[in-house]
C-alpha cells in the first residue's frame, strides 16, 4: 500500500462507529507490512525478533518497539526531512529526545478529535476552555501543545484562552475568567499538564480563594508531575482540584497520551484511583512480562504495550515503560516502571546516570 492509501484506509477506519478484533487485526497486519517495508530500522528490529509480515498472523505478534528506540533511531516510513511536524518527548532523562515524524497531521488530528469529542465533550459542541500549557507556537514540537490547540480551536468557545506564557502561569488573567465562569451558568473546562495545576491550586490556597464552577464543568489533566512541580498522590491531587474549582472528582478526567502515539486514552473520571483507562477502536493495549514480552493474563501487573493504528508513519506497536494491568473495559495504569537500585552494593544504572549528569 502507498502512504496515500494507508491514510485513506485509516481515516475510513476511524470513521467507523466501532471495529471488531478481526477488523482491527486486518488493518494492523497491513500496517505492519507497510512499516516493515518502509521503515528500515524497524525492519531490522523485526527481523532480529524473527517477525516478518509473512510469519506474523496475529496483531499481538507484531513486535513492539521499546520507546527508548524513538531516541536512538529514526523511525519513519517517509523521508523525515519532509515531515509536516516532528513531535519530541520532553527529554527528561539524559537530554536525548524521542522523535515521532508526521508526514501529515490529518490522521493525528482526526484520531484526536473523534476520540476527544466522544470521551471529553460528550455531545457538547463547544465549551469555554482555559488551557494551562504553553501555546503551540511556543512549543512547536510538543504533541501536548498541539493536542490542546486542537481542542481549543475545534471544541472551544471563541473566548477560550491559553493562560501559560513565557512568564509562566498568568494568574491575573485567569482568575477573573474563572470568576466570570463561576458567575455564569455555562460549564467551563480547565485543561493542561498535571503539573500546571499544582501552582494554581497553591496560589488559590495562599489567597484563601476557591471557585465553584457551574454544573457540567470539567478538568482534564495529563502527564503527571515529571519533577516540574511537587508530586501529589492521586487522591490528594483530585481532592485538591475538586476543592479548588468545585468540580467533582468524577468530572476530573485524566488523559494518558504519549509522543510515541497518535491516539490518546481517557478515563471516565477519577472518583476512585486508579480508574480504568481505555481508547477508541483503532488502538489496543496488551500487558506483557517485560523480560519475555509474553502476554500476561487479565489482572496481572506488567508493562503496557500499545498498538495504535493511527501512528502509521513510525511504528504502531510500542513497548512503554509504564506499569499496568488489563481489566474489563480497558486497563489500569500504575505509573512508570522504575529500575531498581541494586539490592547489594553494586551501582545500578539510575545512580550511575545521576552521577554522570553531575
Partner 1 sequence: MIEYAGHLPGLTREELRWRHVRHSAWGETVEIALPELDEAQAQALCERVRSSARARIRRMEVARIVGAIDEAIARLLDRQHPLRRKAEQLLPIVTGYDRETVRLGLTSYLKTFRRPQLLRFLAEDFANPGMLDAFQPAAKGGFLRARGPDLLLHVWAGNVPALPLWSLICGLLVKAGTVGKLASAEPLMAGWFAGLVAEIDPELGECLAIVWWKGGEEAGEAAFLRAADTVMAYGGNATLATLRAKLPITTRFLPHGHKIGFGAISRAALDSRKAPALARLAAQDVVRYEQQGCYSPQLLFVERGGMVAPREFARYLAHELAALARRHPRRQLSPEEAASIASWRAAQELRTLDGMSELLSEPADSWAVIHVEAVEALSPSGLNRTLKLVSVDSLDEVPALVAPYRSFLQTAGIAAPPAELFRLAARLGEVGISRITAIGRMTAPEAGWHHDGRFSLLDLVTMTEIEHSAEAAAEGFAPYVD
Query: Does position 292 bind partner 1 by CB under 8 A?
Result: yes
Residues present in the chain in total = 358
- Binding part of the chain for partner 1, among 218-226, 231-239, 271-279, 343-351 by CB under 8 A, reads 343-351
Instruction: Report how far residue 162's alpha carbon sits from residue 109's, in angstroms, rounded to the nearest whole number.
Output: 19
Closer residue to partner 1, CB minimum distance, 68 or 278: 68
Residues 331-347 as b/e (b if ≥16 CB within 10 A, e otherwise) read: bbbeeebeeeeeeeeee
Which residues partner with 102 through β-bridges? Answer: 85
Instruction: Report how far residue 277's alpha carbon sits from residue 327's, in angstroms, rounded to the nearest whole number.
Output: 9
Kind of pairing between the strands at 218-222 and 188-193 = parallel
User: Restricting to residues 303-342, which ones interact with partner 1 according to CB under 8 A?
Assistant: 303, 319, 321, 323, 337-342
Closer residue to partner 1, CB minimum distance, 201 or 318: 318
Rg over alpha carbons for the chain, rounded to the nearest Å, is 21
Query: Does position 113 bind partner 1 by CB under 8 A?
Result: no
Instruction: Report how far residue 110's alpha carbon sits from residue 93's, in angstroms, rounded to the nearest whole number.
Output: 31
- Binding part of the chain for partner 1, among 216-224, 231-239, 257-265, 289-297 by CB under 8 A, reads 289-297
Rounded to a whole number of angstroms, the minimum distance from the CB of residue 32 to partner 1 is 18
Query: Does position 349 bind partner 1 by CB under 8 A?
Result: yes
Whether 109 contacts 128, CB under 8 Å: no
Instruction: Report how far residue 327's alpha carbon sits from residue 330's, in angstroms, rounded to the nearest whole number.
Output: 6
Query: Does position 61 bind partner 1 by CB under 8 A?
Result: no
Which grid coordinates are listed for 242? 475538586
Query: Does position 44 bind partner 1 by CB under 8 A?
Result: yes
Q: Which of 56, 73, 309, 326 binds partner 1 (CB under 8 A)?
A: 73
Q: Which of 24, 32, 45, 245 binds partner 1 (CB under 8 A)?
A: 45
Ramachandran area for residue 193 (φ above 0: left; ψ -120 to 50: alpha; else beta) = beta
Which grid coordinates are listed for 248? 467533582
Whether 186 contacts 220, CB under 8 Å: no
Closer residue to partner 1, CB minimum distance, 89 or 264: 89
Query: Does position 69 bind partner 1 by CB under 8 A?
Result: yes
- Binding part of the chain for partner 1, among 77-85, 97-105, 255-263, 348-356 by CB under 8 A, reads 348-356
Rounded to a whole number of angstroms, the minimum distance from the CB of residue 271 to partner 1 is 27
Rounded to a whole number of angstroms, the minimum distance from the CB of residue 286 to partner 1 is 15
Which grid coordinates are listed for 63? 513486535
Helix (H, G, I), strand (E, B) or coil at 95: coil
Query: Does position 239 bind partner 1 by CB under 8 A?
Result: no
Query: Does position 22 bind partner 1 by CB under 8 A?
Result: no
Q: Which residues bind partner 1 (CB under 8 A)?
A: 41, 44-45, 48, 66, 68-69, 72-73, 289-293, 301, 303, 319, 321, 323, 337-349, 351-352, 355-356
Amino acid at each position: 500500500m502507498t502512504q496515500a492509501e494507508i491514510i485513506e484506509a485509516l481515516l475510513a477506519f476511524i470513521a467507523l462507529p466501532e471495529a471488531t478484533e478481526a477488523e482491527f487485526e486486518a488493518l494492523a497486519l497491513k500496517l505492519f507490512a507497510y512499516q516493515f517495508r518502509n521503515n528500515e530500522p524497524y525492519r531490522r528490529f523485526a527481523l532480529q525478533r524473527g517477525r516478518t509480515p509473512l510469519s506474523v498472523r496475529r496483531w499481538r505478534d507484531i513486535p513492539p518497539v521499546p520507546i527508548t528506540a524513538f531516541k536512538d533511531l529514526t523511525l519513519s516510513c517517509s523521508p523525515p526531512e519532509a515531515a509536516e511536524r516532528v513531535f519530541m518527548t520532553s527529554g527528561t532523562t539524559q537530554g536525548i529526545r524521542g522523535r515521532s515524524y508526521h508526514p501529515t497531521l490529518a490522521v493525528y488530528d482526526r484520531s484526536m478529535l473523534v476520540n476527544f469529542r466522544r470521551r471529553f465533550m460528550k455531545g457538547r459542541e463547544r465549551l469555554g476552555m482555559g488551557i494551562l500549557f504553553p501555546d503551540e507556537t511556543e512549543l512547536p514540537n510538543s504533541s501536548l501543545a498541539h493536542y490542546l490547540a486542537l481542542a481549543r480551536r475545534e471544541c472551544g468557545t471563541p473566548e477560550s484562552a491559553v493562560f501559560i506564557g513565557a512568564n509562566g502561569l498568568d494568574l491575573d488573567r485567569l482568575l477573573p475568567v474563572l470568576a466570570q465562569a463561576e458567575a455564569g451558568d455555562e460549564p467551563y473546562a480547565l485543561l493542561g499538564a498535571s503539573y500546571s495545576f499544582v501552582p494554581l491550586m497553591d496560589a488559590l490556597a495562599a489567597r484563601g480563594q476557591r471557585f465553584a464552577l457551574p454544573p457540567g464543568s470539567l478538568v482534564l489533566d495529563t502527564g503527571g508531575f515529571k519533577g516540574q512541580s511537587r508530586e501529589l498522590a492521586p487522591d490528594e491531587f483530585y481532592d485538591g482540584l475538586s476543592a479548588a474549582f468545585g468540580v467533582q472528582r468524577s468530572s476530573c478526567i485524566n488523559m494518558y497520551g504519549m509522543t510515541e502515539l497518535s491516539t490518546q486514552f481517557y478515563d471516565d473520571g477519577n472518583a476512585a484511583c486508579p480508574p480504568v483507562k481505555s481508547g477508541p477502536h483503532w488502538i489496543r493495549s496488551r500487558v506483557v512480562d517485560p523480560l519475555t514480552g509474553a502476554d500476561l493474563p487479565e489482572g496481572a501487573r506488567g508493562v503496557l504495550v500499545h498498538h495504535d493504528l493511527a501512528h502509521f508513519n513510525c511504528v504502531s506497536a510500542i513497548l512503554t515503560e509504564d506499569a499496568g494491568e488489563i481489566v474489563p473495559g480497558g486497563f489500569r495504569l500504575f505509573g512508570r516502571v522504575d529500575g531498581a537500585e541494586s539490592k547489594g552494593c553494586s551501582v545500578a544504572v539510575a545512580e550511575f546516570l545521576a552521577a554522570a549528569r553531575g
